[in-house]
Structure 1
Amino acid sequence: MKNLLKSLALVSVAATLATSVSAQERITYKSAKTTSSYYQMGVQIAEAMQAGTDGGVVVTVEESQGSVQNVMEVRARGGDYVFTTPPALVGLAQGGKAMFEGKGDPSFDTIRALFPIPSLTMHFVMSADSGVETFEDLEGKTILLGSGSFGAREGEKYLGLFGLEGKVTLADSELSNAVSALKNGQIDGFVTAGSYPAPNVIEAAASTGVRVLSLSDEQVAATKRTPLTIPAGTYAGQDADISTTSLPVVAYTTTAMSDDTAYLLTKTFWEQKSELGSAAAWWNGISPDMISNITTAIHPGAIRYYEEVGAPLTDAHR
């Protein structure tokens, strides 16, 4: 009898553990390189999901080589896959255009959005000693764009759009050297794109006086990018709002994810956003208004949450 009771107890414990494990949602979150701020965001989201669900959601963050890879992996992933990418890339994948030409796949049509994360935000950072206050003042100055990044490509595009091509000296150096080069007077400024407040801009503003240039409404329109305002006080010495541009970034999954899981992830993200913002200021720039930056379909589970809280949705989201 004693052995029977012991066996039943062991069965009960095993059943409890099995129920506990099966009740846990395990998610793979693919973001960016480990050195990127977006990888740090992934880690923060993982912590927020675990805290907000009392361990009910366990997120494993995977390193990625970039947004294109994240989208391409949809072809081989299941319902536990969450990834980050700009909405524009999803549109290109679904249309088989640009870098996705000849690489189309039916799985791309199953991609659905969950929630926005901090946008890639353009910063034209000039030293106070340079005397540069507007883009017109950049003529004859030396700036560092870096190479290969979104910020470098976008910065070069803006110089052309604003009539500065060939009128600005481009420093031949990596963006990682920007702050030290600015301090040493080797450059007058640098261009960077990242979530704000950007760590390299914080460092530059704290160690030497800088001005982050503001774009006019006409200049913003010419870039065809999403307008974004960096609030006054974001950086040391910044006493006014900065009008600039951004590339929205969104957390996506596919229709392979259940509605209940998508609902839980979306609900937990928004309910934990305040805590996220306390830990890292870049989350404070996220608001329900940024749902309008999602130009692709939203997962039905996420839509259920947005309808519950009265968030703005469009026909394209459904």
Structure 2
Amino acid sequence: MKNTLKGALAASCLLMLPVAAKASDYLSIGSCPVPCTAYTWAAGVADVINRNVEGVQATAEETKGYIANIRLMQNGEMEASLATSLSAYEAYTASGNYEGTEPGKIMAWMSIAPVAMHILTVEGSSVNTLEDLKGKRVGMGQPGGTSMLDADLLMERIAGEDYEPFRVRLGDMTDMLSDGNIDAALWNGSFPLPPVIQLAAQRDLKLIPVADDFFEALHADYPPYYRLSIPADTYDGVTEDTRTYGLANGLVISSDVPEEQVYQMTKAVFENLDDLAGMHPAFAAMSAETVLNGFGSPLHPGALRYYREVGIPGIEEFVARTSDD
């Protein structure tokens, strides 16, 4: 693994390393721009690793986001990162957006929080089902973002090219919905989403459910998508659960990281979830029952070893399902 820490951080971290530690013990965790949730998660995980795993110096790295993270890992410039489970699957299999890249390099590590597809509109809109999106003005998310890729997949299946896309960030989409400048908006993110909370305070929000037949066909082609619901009262005025689908928002790690190191880091995170929950509430919901959610690519051997040791539910079924054999 390469030492990718920035100058000042590298100098200060070297002072704290044991004499026997080597440059290969550095672990850079890619996240996103500093204000975002993924940076908070990466910083929390790095802190836990640094306090509990001897000889490893982890750091959260500010990046341009999840797509950039995968590319940096493929180029050997980072050892771990936050990513969606669809990106992890495509990177491992060298398919989809990562066709032509080296397969098998990026492995599943741990799911942190669900990412739910939000199909948003407001009362008075003619959009009441997925099929109603055909021919409409639809917010898709900004270029370079994973949410836009998910939105593209959905709209290709529903409408082909028969819709008008608006490729802007979520805050702009909710403003446009409120003002009537678009008919619907799509965003795959961890709920509750602050801009959607604000929209629900201004207008009567509608969340469009996803039918079983649409999900089953999507899942057949893209195994990392899994069924979930946005709970009632997550947003003001939405008083029933909304059936949708989503991905895992979690950590992936390079196959080059040694097994023992990944084992010790996985153990440290799971034994310190209470501390991590103090940094961000997503960790409070993380458990043995959720850690595999959404992943369709194989686990790093170090993580697999720990999960087997503690008896993660469904671990052997997961291994069989994601095996390269």
Q: TM above 0.5, one fold?
A: yes
Q: Which amino acid aligns with 1:151?
A: S
Q: Which amino acid aligns with 2:121?
A: M
1:231 counterpart residue number: 231
Q: Which amino acid aligns with 2:83?
A: T
**CA distance, structure 2, for counterparts of residue 140 and residue 298 of structure 1:** 41
1:297 counterpart residue number: 298
SS of the residue aligned with 2:191? Answer: coil
Q: How many angstroms does 1:302 deviate by?
A: 1.6
Deviations 1:195-233 (A, max 9, x none): 222222222223433122211111212333322222223
**CA distance, structure 1, for counterparts of residue 133 and residue 127 of structure 2:** 6
Q: How many angstroms does 1:156 deviate by?
A: 4.2
**CA distance, structure 1, for counterparts of residue 88 and residue 53 of structure 2:** 32
Residue of 127, 139, 150 corresponding to 2:122: 127
1:241 counterpart residue number: 241
Deviations 1:234-292 (A, max 9, x none): 22233222211223344222343333321232123233335544554444554434515
Q: Which amino acid aligns with 1:158?
A: L
Higher helix share: 1
**CA distance, structure 2, for counterparts of residue 206 and residue 154 of structure 1:** 26
**Judging changes above 3 Å, is the alpha-carbon distance between structure 1 residues 150 and 179 closer, same or farther for their aligned structure 2 residues?**
same
Q: How does 1:45-60 map to 2 (within 5 A)?
A: 45-49=45-49, 53=52, 58-60=57-59
1:116 counterpart residue number: 111
Q: How does 1:58-137 map to 2 (within 5 A)?
A: 58-74=57-73, 77=76, 81-104=79-102, 109-130=104-125, 132-136=127-131
**CA distance, structure 2, for counterparts of residue 69 and residue 217 of structure 1:** 33
**CA distance, structure 1, for counterparts of residue 36 and residue 156 of structure 2:** 28
**CA distance, structure 1, for counterparts of residue 19 and residue 202 of structure 2:** 51
Count residues in correspondence: 297
Q: Which amino acid aligns with 1:268?
A: A
Is the Cα contact below 8 Å between 1:228 and 1:243 reproduced in 2?
yes
Is the Cα contact below 8 Å between 1:196 and 1:282 reproduced in 2?
no
- 1:152 has 2:152 as partner: no
- Indicate the larger mover: 138-147 or 175-184: 138-147
Percentage of pairs with the same residue:
23
2:175 counterpart residue number: 180
**Judging changes above 3 Å, is the alpha-carbon distance between structure 1 residues 43 and 309 closer, same or farther for their aligned structure 2 residues?**
same
**CA distance, structure 2, for counterparts of residue 271 and residue 73 of structure 1:** 29
Q: Which amino acid aligns with 1:222?
A: A
Q: How many angstroms does 1:310 deviate by?
A: 0.8
Q: How many angstroms does 1:294 deviate by?
A: 2.5
- 1:162 has 2:162 as partner: no
**Judging changes above 3 Å, is the alpha-carbon distance between structure 1 residues 142 and 295 closer, same or farther for their aligned structure 2 residues?**
closer
Q: How does 1:215-230 map to 2 (within 5 A)?
A: 215-224=210-219, 225-230=225-230
Q: TM-score normalised to the size of structure 2?
A: 0.72
Is the Cα contact below 8 Å between 2:88 and 2:107 reproduced in 1?
no
Is the Cα contact below 8 Å between 1:197 and 1:281 reproduced in 2?
no
Q: Which has the larger radius of gyration?
A: 1
1:3 counterpart residue number: none
**CA distance, structure 2, for counterparts of residue 209 and residue 275 of structure 1:** 38
**Judging changes above 3 Å, is the alpha-carbon distance between structure 1 residues 255 and 19 closer, same or farther for their aligned structure 2 residues?**
same
Q: How many angstroms does 1:98 deviate by?
A: 4.8
Deviations 1:171-209 (A, max 9, x none): 575544123223333334322122222222222223433
Residue of 199, 218, 222 corresponding to 1:204: 199
**CA distance, structure 1, for counterparts of residue 112 and residue 16 of structure 2:** 35
- 1:306 has 2:301 as partner: no
SS of the residue aligned with 1:252? Answer: strand
**Judging changes above 3 Å, is the alpha-carbon distance between structure 1 residues 113 and 195 closer, same or farther for their aligned structure 2 residues?**
same
SS of the residue aligned with 1:109? Answer: coil
Is the Cα contact below 8 Å between 2:32 and 2:66 reproduced in 1?
yes
1:4 counterpart residue number: none
Q: TM-score normalised to the size of structure 1?
A: 0.73
- 1:32 has 2:32 as partner: yes
Is the Cα contact below 8 Å between 1:84 and 1:249 reproduced in 2?
yes
* Unpaired stretches in structure 1, ≥5 consecutive residues: 1-15
